[in-house]
Amino acid sequence: MDWFLIFSRAFEAGIGSEAIIYCLAAIGLNVQFGYTGLLNFGQAAFLAVGAYSIATTVATFGLPFFLGVGIGLVLSVLLALLLGIPTLRLRADYLAIVTIAAAEIVRIIVRSVALKDTFGGTDGLQEFAHSFYALNVFPAGQYSILGGFIGFDHRGMWVLLVGWVLVALVSVILLFAMKSPWGRVLKAIREDEDAVRALGKNVFSYKMQALVIGGVIGAVAGFIFALSRSSAQPDLYSTELTFFAYTVLILGGAARILGPIVGAALFWFLMIFVKTGLEEAINKQVITFLNVNQVGAIQYMIIGLGLILLLIFRPQGIFGDKREIALDAR
Amino acid sequence: MRRAVIAFTAFLGGLIFLLASGPATAWADGESVKGTLKSQGQPVTGVKISVTDEGGKPVGDATSNAQGTWEVPVPSAGAYKITIDQSTLPAGVSLRFKDRSTLTVQVFEGNARNVLFALDAATNQSGEKTPDGTAADDESDAYWGRVAQLAFEGLSLGLIIALGAVGLSLIFGTTGLTNFAHGELLAIGAFIAFFLNTTLGLHLLIAAPLAVLIAAAFGYGQDWLFWGQLRKRKTGLVSMMIISIGVALFLRYLLLFLFGGSSQSYAQYTAQEGIQIGPISATPKSLVIIAIDVVVLVAVGLALVYTRIGKATRAVADNPALAASSGINVDRVIRIVWAGGTAIAALAGILLGLSQTVNYQMGLQVLLLMFAGVTLGGLGTAFGALVGSLVVGVFIQVSTLWIPPETKNVGALAVLIIVLLFRPQGILGRRERIG
């Protein structure tokens, strides 16, 4: 068992691009679920919209990269409006069902054979990240952190820099936004919608704003997802992505600025720790009753079990406050 | 750093070695082309496929087996032409694109390349070109024949969705839980039957009822040991909904862990010749499936209306507090609903596995269709779930007339969203439930 390898890979994942992507996706959910109490189960759709906006604009139509970013932001606002209008007046589980359905619609459309020329079918799209990496401030080469314990190449370093700066930026904005009167209205809607309505606030409009902002942050996560891999593949944006983002959020603590950040880092550290650990144990014949192909399944079973146990025994996660989580909404 | 790189490279090398020699690719020593021929989810057997290299030199032939799969090894990486012999296709099955009987594919080193031939049920052979001038009439006949065929398939699919959706709706009605793990209850039923059928070698006619019984016990136990305990702890409904997602993830990947990722079929009744009834071509098993669906749904409906426990169930769904105060044991009713709901979900899963294939992801795929059916009919009403599911099933299949089949679920899910826009309570729902 090479413990050095296991720990270095786990730490790399804890600060790596996966952590950034799930962190941003979970921050979006935090605005919607954590602060406002909206159950958006279609966050994957917003990531897909972000990723495919860049990919399609650059790879299919040959237009500039930043136009793709703009299109992604606009489309994610439109998608949020489209989902919000029919469902935000209804009970929580309707929004959940509609958003999960919308996420599947987006995924089925971008992977369809009929639109292969535009979206690339199940293979997805590649060759669109040149402009992004052309801005790279790191010269080509390998970079080691903590005396060689973990390391990334120059492309990885660029993704990390952009990603974590975005996370910090969004978090600081939200920190101030949630302390403002506007943020207090959102939290009040989570606690008692009718009371807020009685105070003369337009609940529907506030909920819609939360849905739009969370969706836009999701699209930003989608940008990073596509750019860090230089490819956009439809099946990465399945409903499971949304559920993992929820796990990240609940692990860190909903309705807390630090919740998604710590949640994402810890989630990916544990995921890769388990994965690399099991693979090492199997390769070194420490565990003989499993094979490497089963490791993925075990990883996901642990996530499912973790989500169940968290909600039963510690729904507030690491940082949260139990009274502040919208778990009784009907 | 260097040590990490070396270790990582060694690890990757080991991984590739292991993967290359793993069971998934063990039979594909070197390069090959392979594929699975399916029409309407049914394997198509006995179809001849020939492979030539780019210059037209023959490389090999294959005939699809009982599972519809075929494979031709090729000597090296490169481009190959794959031709399907259309004359060997069984009656009632044809290529979707008649001009694409030969495909050119690139095979990479060490790669078993999948080749897909899209097959359709040719419903009305007379719809093909006729020598005399009545082509227009025949075309319209063929069109309506196709509509009838798709509506029939939609009805069959809708009835299976309805079986699953009735349980989902009853559990929602009595406990308020939107159970995201309900799709996995179908998958588990299908896999228990699969295990009894293939591993223990029981005939499907014995394995299926046994699987339904086991599933009923599983449902009862699930409420007794898990959901019931959560209700006692006064766990919130949103909390329970997210817990059900955890349960779904756990069960889905447990199935992947135990049974692997490939699609499987039962040992009996896999490939059947279609019989022609008017404009519709149906396999005997699809008729039996519809009969079972109808019988079970009618039985559930009658039980809900006429039996004591059925009346109690509706009372609990209506108002649990009032039901409890009039002497109904609410917990017992809920437990029976869980057992019954899981049992019919398992039956739905087995029938779905029989008409398509058994796959660990089948639960996720059918869950959204059940949600669509339940929402369309009205959340919490058993009869609404039935009507909504039938509409969803027929709509999905008939919509393939206008949209590509691989996007057919889009239509149903879009309808779900549009219905919520105009009639949020669904077809049979009541206004006060939507709050």
Is it the case that residue B186 has pLDDT exceeding 50?
Answer: yes
Structural domain includes residue A144: no
* DSSP assigned state of B126: G
Residue A323 has pLDDT above 60, yes or no: yes
- Rounded alpha-carbon distances, angstroms, from residue A175 to A128, A179, A187, B298: 33, 6, 13, 56
Q: Is residue B19 part of a domain?
A: no
Q: Do B195 and B110 reside in the same domain of the chain?
A: no
Residue B278 has a pLDDT of 76
Q: In this predicted structure, what is the pLDDT of residue B115? A: 75
* Statement to judge: residues B258 and B317 lie in one domain: yes
Compute the distance between CA of residue A105 and CA of residue B29 in angstroms, rounded to an integer. 38
Residue B231 lies in a domain: yes
Q: Which residue among B23, B178, B239 sits closest to A327, beta carbon to beta carbon?
A: B239
Question: Sign of dihedral through CA atoms B222, B223, B229, B231?
Answer: positive
Q: Which residue range is the domain that position B298 belongs to?
A: 147-433
**Average pLDDT of the residues in A249-272:** 94
Work out the angle at residue B366's Cα, subtended by the Cα atoms of residues A214 and B284, and round it to the nearest 5 degrees. Answer: 165
Residue written as tokens 């969004």?
A: A170
Q: Report the percentage of chain B scoring pLDDT > 70.
A: 82
> According to the model, what pLDDT value does residue B11 have?
45
pLDDT in tens, B160-171: 999 999 889 889
Nearest CA in chain B to A290: B257
Contact residues on chain A for B368, CB-CB shorter than 8 A: 100-101, 104
Number of folded domains in chain B? 2
A293–B417: do the CB atoms touch at under 8 Å?
no
Res B56: pLDDT? 72
Distance from CA of B245 to the nearest CA of A (A): 7
Of B238, B409, B421, the CB nearest to A326: B238
Tell me the nearest-neighbour CA distance from B166 into chain A, angstroms: 17
With beta carbons under 8 A apart, name residues in chain A contacting B19: 292-293
Q: Does B410 touch chain A (CB under 8 A)?
A: yes
Query: pLDDT for A40-60, tens place per residue?
Result: 999 999 999 999 999 999 999
pLDDT of residue B121: 64
Residue A145 lies in a domain: no
Pair A174, A257: CB distance under 8 Å: yes
pLDDT band at B45; cut points 50, 70, 90: confident
Asked whether residue B283 is assigned to any structural domain, the reply reads: yes
Q: How confident is the model at residue A88 (pLDDT cuts 50, 70, 90)?
A: confident
Give SS3 for A282.
Answer: helix
Instruction: Label residue B402 exposed, middle or buried (CB < 10 Å: 0-12, 13-18, 19+).
Output: exposed
- The answer on B216 and B107 residing in a single domain is no
What is the reported pLDDT for B136? 54
Q: Is B230 on the interface with A (CB under 8 A)?
A: yes
Residue type at position A56: T
CATH of the domain at B53: 2.60.40.10
Give yes or no for a contact between A169 and A183, defined as CB atoms under 8 angstroms apart: no
Chain B residues within an 8 Å CB radius of A90: 420, 424, 434-435
Question: Residue A261 pLDDT more than 80?
Answer: yes
Query: How distant is the Cα of A14 from the closest Cα of chain B, in angstroms?
Result: 17
Whether A240 and B5 lie within 8 Å, measured CB to CB:
no
CA B150 and chain centroid, separation: 16
By percentage, how much of chain A surpasses pLDDT 90? 65
**For position A316, which CATH number holds?**
1.10.3470
Chain A residues inside the 8 Å CB shell of B252 = 300, 304
One-letter amino acid for residue B428 of the chain: L
Q: Are residues B242 and A307, on separate chains, in Cβ contact within 8 Å?
A: yes
Kindly state the percentage of chain B with pLDDT values over 90.
34
Are A148 and B4 an interchain contact pair (Cβ–Cβ within 8 Å)? yes
Distance between CA atoms of A116 and B281, rounded to whole angstroms? Answer: 32
Residues B85 and B168 in one domain: no
User: Is B7 within a domain?
Assistant: no
pLDDT at A230 over 70: yes
Higher pLDDT among residues B284 and A175, named by residue: A175
User: Do residue B165 and residue B117 come from a single domain?
Assistant: no
Of A86-90, B150-154, B187-191, the poorest mean pLDDT is in A86-90
Residue A149 has pLDDT above 70, yes or no: yes
Whether A330 is covered by a domain: the verdict is: no
Interchain contact B26–A (C-beta under 8 A): no
The mean per-residue pLDDT over the stretch B249-257 comes to 95
Q: Look at residue A165 in the predicted model and tell me its pLDDT.
A: 96
Name the average pLDDT for chain A. Answer: 91
Residues 355-384 of B with CB under 8 A from A: 364, 368, 371-372, 375, 379
Please answer yes or no on whether B239 and A315 come within 8 Å at the CB atom. Answer: yes
User: Are the Cβ atoms of A307 and B246 closer than 8 angstroms?
Assistant: yes
Dist. CA A303–CA A250, nearest whole Å:
12
A73-79 mean pLDDT: 96
Task: Mark yes or no for CB contact A94/B7 under 8 Å.
Answer: no
Return d(Cα A149, Cα A157) in angstroms, integer: 15
Quick one: pLDDT at residue B129? 39
How many residues are present in chain A? 330
The span from the CA of A8 to the CA of A30, in Å, is 29
Q: For B372, which of A101, A296, A307 is closest by C-beta distance?
A: A101
> Could you report the per-residue pLDDT of B129-138, keeping only the tens digit for each?
334 444 556 6
B367 has a pLDDT exceeding 80: yes
Residues A89-119 pLDDT 10s: 777 778 888 899 899 999 999 988 888 888 9
| Total-model pTM | 0.80
Give the number of beta-carbon pairs within 8 Å between A and B.
179
Residues A159-205 pLDDT 10s:
999 999 999 999 999 999 999 999 999 999 998 889 999 999 999 99
**Given this model, what pLDDT does residue B137 score?**
60
Same domain for B103 and B242, yes or no, is: no
Neighbours of A272 (CB within 10 A): 22
Q: Which residues pair with B103 in a beta bridge?
A: B82
Q: Distance of CA B88 to CAs B47, B63, B127, B269, Å? A: 5, 10, 20, 21
A193/A328 Cα distance (integer angstroms):
13
Does residue A328 surpass a pLDDT of 50? yes
**Which tokens belong to B70?**
């075929």
Residue A305 to residue B246, Cβ atoms within 8 A: yes
Task: Provide the pLDDT for residue A185.
Answer: 95
In order of A7, A57, B194, B249, B391, the CA distances from A95 in angstroms are 40, 30, 36, 21, 22
B220 and B314 both lie in a single domain: yes
Residue B294 pLDDT exceeds 80: yes
pLDDT one-digit tens code per residue, B12-41? 444 443 333 333 333 334 677 777 777 766
pLDDT at B386 over 90: no
Q: Mind telling me how many Å the CA of A66 is from chain B's nearest CA?
A: 30
Q: What is the pLDDT of residue B99?
A: 63
Q: Is residue B4 part of a domain?
A: no
Nearest residue to B64 (alpha-carbon basis) of B91, B34, B99: B34
User: Total structural domains in chain A?
Assistant: 1
Structural domain harbouring A16: 3-138+151-324
B98 pLDDT above the threshold of 70:
no
Instruction: State the residue for tokens 């909920």.
Output: A207
Å from A316 to nearest chain B CA?
A: 11
Select, from the ranges B145-149, B199-203, B217-221, B277-281, the one with the highest average predicted confidence (pLDDT): B217-221
A238-251 b/e (C-beta count within 10 Å ≥ 16 → b) = bbbbbbbbbbbbbb
For residue range B188-222, list pLDDT tens digits in order. Answer: 999 999 999 999 989 999 999 999 999 999 999 99
**B416, B307: one domain:** yes
Q: Same domain, yes or no, for B215 and B252? A: yes
Q: Among A238-252, A298-312, B102-116, which stretch is predicted with the lowest mean pLDDT?
A: B102-116
CB within 8 Å of A116: residues ≥ 6 apart: none
User: How near does any CA of chain A get to the CA of B233, in Å?
Assistant: 9
Mean pLDDT of chain B: 80
A106 assigned to some structural domain: yes
Q: Is B12 inside any structural domain?
A: no
Mutation pick from B253, B408, B410, B418 vs chain A, by most beta carbons of A within 10 Å, is B253
Question: How distant is the Cα of A312 from the closest Cα of chain B, in angstroms?
Answer: 8
What is the sign of the dihedral through the CA atoms of B410, B414, B417 and B423? negative
Determine the Cα–Cα distance for residues A251 and A242; give it in Å rounded to an integer.
14
Candidate from B176, B256, B404 with C-beta closest to A113: B404
Any domain includes B287: yes
